[in-house]
Amino acid sequence: MKTEQQYFNEAITIQQYMDNMDTLKGDSFRIYDNFEVPPNDGFIELLKDKQPKILTITEDWCGDAMLNNPIIRRIAEAAGLDMRAVLRDADTDLIDRYLTNGGRAIPMYVLLNDAGQVIGKWGPRAPELQDNVVNKRASLPDKEDPTFEEAQKALYAEIREESMTNKAFWSFVYEDFKKQVTAALQ
CATH number reported for the structural domain that contains residue 98 in this entry: 3.40.30.10
* pLDDT tens for each residue of 10-38: 999 999 999 999 999 999 999 999 999 99
Query: Could you list the residue range(s) of the whole structural domain that residue 46 is in?
Result: 4-126+167-185
What DSSP designation does 147 have? T
pLDDT for residue 59: 98
131 is a domain residue: no
Q: How many domains does the chain have?
A: 1
Mean pLDDT computed over every residue of the chain: 97
Confidence of residue 42 (pLDDT cuts 50, 70, 90): very high
> 92-122 burial, b if ≥16 CB within 10 A, otherwise e?
eebbeebeeeeebbbbbbbbbbeeeebbbbb
144 is a domain residue: no
48 is a domain residue: yes
pLDDT for residue 58: 98
What is the phi-psi region of residue 36: left when phi exceeds 0, alpha when psi lies from -120 to 50, beta otherwise?
beta
151 is a domain residue: no
Confidence of residue 99 (pLDDT cuts 50, 70, 90): very high
150 is a domain residue: no
pLDDT for residue 48: 97
pTM of the full predicted structure? 0.95
* pLDDT tens for each residue of 100-114: 999 999 999 999 999
* pLDDT tens for each residue of 130-170: 999 999 999 999 999 999 999 999 999 999 999 999 999 99
181 is a domain residue: yes
31 is a domain residue: yes
Average pLDDT over residues 48-52: 97
pLDDT for residue 24: 96
pLDDT for residue 136: 95
* Rounded CA separation 112/172 (Å): 23
* Rounded CA separation 112/20 (Å): 25
Amino acid at 25: K
* Residue of 73, 69, 70 lying closest to 82 (CA atoms): 73
* pLDDT tens for each residue of 86-95: 999 999 999 9
86 is a domain residue: yes
Confidence of residue 186 (pLDDT cuts 50, 70, 90): confident
Phi, psi torsion values for 4, nearest 5 degrees:
-60, -35
